[in-house]
Amino acid sequence: MTGGVADRRAGRSKQSARGLDAPRRRGGMLAPRPQQPSRDRFGRFTEWIARAMGTPVFLLLLTAFVAAWLAWNTLAPVPWRFDSAANGFTALTLMLSLQASYAAPLILLAQNRQDDRDRVQIEQDRQRAERNLADTEYLAREIVALRMALTEVSAEVLTRDDLRHELRALLDDVDERRAAQERPA
């Protein structure tokens, strides 16, 4: 009996030690999930709406919807109609007004996000241009320094023409000496 209690205690100590080393994960609905901020998610949603509303497909679908609405409420039997032409299709007008009242701010939000991205891109481009200008100026100074060093070195360096001129002068001098030695004195 005592062996069983000791085994259970050892098992509990192993379990509690494991619990301290590696915390248990929470499961279910309360489990924390790594997510991007909801503001960013909402911003992406607004951009998706703005992109979708600016397509020919959206305009064609909206036109088809309005045409179907008008056709149904004009040509269908009177008990089946849900928007009266006598009242100027009030429900359709309200629906389109509601769609426009939500579309305009969503499009503005998407434009604001794009403006923010453009501002960041402009700042990065400006910094990149400054670095390029600094690099170009540095390279220009290095090239000038190399040219100056080459000019100084080239004054000390013997060129082919200089060497030919010196050799010709030496040959002429040697010829003169031979001629002087061969002349009878």
Cβ contacts of 91 within 8 Å, gap of 6 or more: 82, 83
Does residue 21 belong to any structural domain of this protein?
no
Does residue 162 belong to any structural domain of this protein?
no
Buried b (16+ CB within 10 A) or exposed e, 29-47: eeeeeeeeeeeeeebeebb
Does residue 138 belong to any structural domain of this protein?
yes
Question: Which class for 107: exposed (0-12), middle (13-18), buried (19 or more C-beta within 10 A)?
Answer: middle
Does residue 152 belong to any structural domain of this protein?
no
Give the domain range for residue 117.
Answer: 38-145
Look over the chain and give the mean of its residue pLDDT values, rounded to a whole number: 82
pLDDT tens digits along 4-30: 555 555 555 555 555 566 555 655 555
179-183: list long-range contacts, CB under 8 Å, 24+ apart.
none
Does residue 134 belong to any structural domain of this protein?
yes
Does residue 7 belong to any structural domain of this protein?
no
Is the CB of residue 78 less than 8 Å from the CB of residue 15? no
pLDDT tens digits along 42-65: 888 888 888 898 899 999 999 999
Does residue 10 belong to any structural domain of this protein?
no
Q: Indicate the angle between helix axes 38-53 and 90-156, nearest 10 degrees.
A: 100
* Cα 19 from chain centre: 43
Buried b (16+ CB within 10 A) or exposed e, 65-94: eeeebeeebeeeeeeeeebeeeeebeeeee
> How many domains are contained in the chain?
1
pLDDT-derived band at 73 (thresholds 50, 70, 90) equals: very high
pTM: 0.48
